Amino acid sequence: MPRFLVGVLQALVAAAFLIGLYAQFVVIPMTAADQVELFPPYAPIRVPLVTAAIAFVACGQAALVGLSMLLRRAGRGTVFKPSTLTWANVVVGATAAATVVTAAVFGYVTLADIPSPVDGMDVLGLWLGTAAAVVAGTAAVLLLVAGRHLPAKAIGLRTELDGVV
């Protein structure tokens, strides 16, 4: 992979990581505070949902770190080393953790009595959105696990070939 392309991609990953930090420390807490100010009955659900949102972003950042390390290996031409699978596992694990966080939010929204400022459609939308996100996250994890087997097989073949040569 060309070094220029790897550098550009790593810069984009770093920017996404920094945007995630900004979201965790500024955007999510301030948005939650604004919503509670506009509709005070949201106060009891503020902490659990803010915590879940921050955890979800942290999972995304962990996946970005794994992706950055995989990009670095691609730039160096060391993708077919056994330690590469560690970073692939980080991406899979972070995606799985984000799916678990989303499933927890889905369970919370299902069981909690969430007030609605209008007619309840916003709560229904949150419930349906988290349900769809759990399905999509599960599909993404399964796809990543299946995709992880391809480099694992290639690494095994490369190791075998190195032993023969």
Q: Which residues contact 24 (CB under 8 A, 6 or more apart)?
A: 54, 57, 58
Note down the domain range covering 99: 3-164
pLDDT bracket for residue 8 (50, 70, 90): very high
Report which residue type is found at 111: L
How does DSSP classify residue 80? T
> What is the pTM assigned to this prediction?
0.89
Q: What is the rounded average pLDDT of the residues 56-83? A: 92
pLDDT at residue number 81: 84
List of E strands, 23-149: none
CB of 159 closer than 8 Å to CB of 89: no
Tell me which of 156 and 64 has the higher pLDDT: 64
Measure the CA–CA gap between 157 and 163, rounded to whole angstroms. Answer: 10
Angle between helices 43-76 and 3-22 (to 10 degrees): 170
Measure the CA–CA gap between 79 and 154, rounded to whole angstroms. Answer: 10
Which of helix, strand or coil describes residue 66? helix
pLDDT bracket for residue 44 (50, 70, 90): very high
* Structural domains of the chain, count: 1
